[in-house]
Every structure is written in structure tokens, then in C-alpha cells.
Amino acid sequence: MSAMSAQPQKIKTCLWFDGQAEEAAELYTSLFDDSRVTQVQRYSEVGPGEPGSVMVVMFELAGTEFMGLNGGPEFQFTEASSVYVDCDDQQEVDRLWSALTADGGQEGPCGWLKDKYGLSWQIVPRVLDELITDPDPARSGRAMKAMLGMGKLDVQALVDAADGK
């Protein structure tokens, strides 16, 4: 919640975990400025989880509120939903890519990855949008073709491709 806002964020994303919500929230909040765990709710004797275990973790990533729910093994993340990160530069792409693919995460195509919890992320340098929306269709096409051939996105290689180098 921003300092200017008296109301909490109206719409939040709920991420379903199988017991790792607090661990995931701690990892995610360590990666972004203006991020923090704001609340941890625990199961009571009423259940359905083990009394005292974490039920819900509320957290903010770069000022955006999320909820992590330890709902159990019934549902898994898919690529149909992902967290999109607009990165300033290659250094930020590299740092986030490394941290999110560590300990069992999986690299994917075109700037996509799955973290060790199975959550899909898009780690995208801001310059990509500028390149693929370039009014010159040849330039934007070369950038798009280069992006489609990458795993982790490479800013300089994208710029070079757009420039026909």
C-alpha cells in the first residue's frame, strides 16, 4: 500500500503453494526493492491445515500486493499465468534470472523461466518493447526473431539484431 493511499490494493494475485508460501515470499521479497512480507496468518485448530502452520502470507513485490496461500498439493502453477518483470538493464535480467532459476528452477524460451516452486516468470529488459514496436517493420522483425531464439534475453544481442549486425 502506498503512503498516499488510505485503501489497500483492491485486486491482489493469490499464488497457491503446497506448504512453501512463506519461503517463496521471503525469496521474492529479497529480490525487489520496495518489497516486504506484510502479514503471516496461521491455521488454527479448526484447520484445515496443521494448527500453527502457515496458511496465508501477504507480501508486496515492488509495491504490488500478493497473497501466498498454502492450499496443498491439489493445484500446480502452469505457464498460463506468470509474473512479468520489466527490467531496467542486462544486469537486472542476469540477477533475477540467476536467483529465480537457482535450486531447481528451470530456464525457458524467450525470457520465461520457472522458479523452484513452479511459478512462471517473464524476465524482460525494457528495451525489448521499444525494439519490437519500432515503426520500421524490418528492425522490429529482426528483434523479434532474435528474441524467439533466446532463453535468457540478451540486451546487446537484441539491439544488434534490430540494427542488422
Structural domain of residue 163, as residue ranges? 77-165
**Alpha-carbon distance values, 72 to 6, 97, 125 (Å):** 34, 27, 34
Domain count, the chain: 2
Are residues 93 and 147 both part of a single domain?
yes
Encode pLDDT of 18-62 as tens digits.
Answer: 999 999 999 999 999 999 999 999 999 998 888 999 999 999 999
Q: In the chain, what percentage of residues exceed pLDDT 70? A: 96
pLDDT at 4 over 80: no
Q: What is the DSSP letter of 77?
A: -
Are residues 81 and 157 both part of a single domain?
yes
Are residues 81 and 161 both part of a single domain?
yes
The mean per-residue pLDDT over the stretch 108-132 comes to 98
Are residues 61 and 117 both part of a single domain?
no
pLDDT at 163 over 70: yes
Residue 78 — pLDDT band, cuts 50, 70, 90?
very high
Are residues 90 and 158 both part of a single domain?
yes
What pLDDT score was predicted for residue 1? 46
User: Which CATH number goes with the domain that contains 29?
Assistant: 3.30.720.100
Question: Is the preceding omega at residue 137 within 30 degrees of 0, hence cis?
Answer: no
Residue 4 cell numbers, joined:
498516499
Are residues 57 and 121 both part of a single domain?
no
Distance CA 119, CA 16 (A): 10
Boundary (domain end) residue, out of 75, 110, 125: 75
The mean per-residue pLDDT over the stretch 75-95 comes to 97
Are residues 83 and 156 both part of a single domain?
yes
| Higher-pLDDT residue of 97, 7 | 97
